[in-house]
Amino acid sequence: MKKSNSLTVPLRIAVISLVVCGLLFPGVVTGIAQLAMPVQANGSLISFHNTTIGSSLIAQDFNYSGFFQPRNDSASGLDPDITVQNATVQAARIHNVTGIPMAYLEGIIKENTKYTLFFFGSTYVNVLDLNLILAQHFPLIYNRYIV
């Protein structure tokens, strides 16, 4: 029986693997993704007044104390969410700075609350979601702070 040549076979199989697994596979997946799911494939970007202002998946900095602010100690450093408890504490500050009624702030927190285990677990909110709502509904307060 003819034996596989032990010197050239590993080299040739390695190069074939490189092409199939390292180039074709990610290339084809990218092609399908860009055609079929361009929004997700490009990082779930979101717009405000027709301008892209970032990704809903990634925390962005907010300095003005009238905005909800993300946490900066998390594992990835990009955590876009804060706990409801944290949001509620921040709501008091935002109320003091902007005069937006506490009931309204608590209302939008409640409407945007998500659960870590679907219907159970701890509760959290997306910081950018809340700030977009504020910027949209209170242009007189926020317009000079936003793009």
Partner 1 sequence: MITASAAFIIVLELGSVVVGGWFLSSYLLSVYSTRKTRLDRIFGPIERSIYYLGGVNPYEEMGWKAYLRAILALNVVEAAIGFVILLIQGSLPLNPMHAPDMSWSLSLNTALSFSSNTDLQHYNGGTALSYLSQMAVIQFLQFTSAATGLCVAIAIFRGLTGKTKGLGNFYVDYTRTIVRVLVPLSGVAALILIFLGVPQSLSGYSVFKTLELGGSEVVKSGPIASLVSIMQLGTNGGGYFGANAANPLTNPSQITNLFELALMMLIPTSLPFLFGRMLGRMKEGRTLIVASYALYIIDIFIAFIPITQIGEGMEVRFGAASSVFWTVTTTAFTTGSVNASLSAFNPLIILAALFGMIIQATPGGIGVGAMYMLMYIIMTVFIVGLMAGRTPEYLGTKINAGDVKLAIVAFLSHPVIILVPTVITFAIGAQAAVGLGTNSISFTQILYEYTSAAANNGSDFLGSAGNTVYFNVSTGIVMWLGRFIPIAVMLAIAGSMVQRKRYASEALRTDTLTFTAVLVVAIFILAVLTFFPFLAIGPILSYLEGFKNGF
Which residues between 35 and 94 bind partner 1 (CB under 8 A)? 37, 40-45, 48, 51-55, 57-58, 60-64, 67, 71, 73-83
Burial of 67 (0-12, 13-18, 19+ CB in 10 A): buried
Burial of 126 (0-12, 13-18, 19+ CB in 10 A): buried
- Between 29 and 92, name the residue whose CB sits nearer to partner 1: 29
Measured N-to-C along each axis, helices 127-137 and 102-111 cross at an angle, to the nearest 10 degrees, of: 130
- Between 16 and 102, name the residue whose CB sits nearer to partner 1: 16
Contact with partner 1 (CB under 8 A): which of 9, 89, 97, 102? 9
- Between 50 and 51, name the residue whose CB sits nearer to partner 1: 51
The reply on whether position 129 binds partner 1 by CB under 8 A is no
CB atoms within 10 A of CB 11: 10
Among candidate residues 75, 72, 104, the one with its CA nearest the CA of residue 91 = 104
User: What are φ and ψ of residue 119, in 5° steps?
Assistant: -105, 0
The reply on whether position 96 binds partner 1 by CB under 8 A is no
Smallest gap, in angstroms, from Cβ of residue 94 to partner 1?
Answer: 14
Contact with partner 1 (CB under 8 A): which of 104, 113, 138, 146? 146
Smallest gap, in angstroms, from Cβ of residue 49 to partner 1?
Answer: 10
Contact with partner 1 (CB under 8 A): which of 98, 105, 130, 131? 131
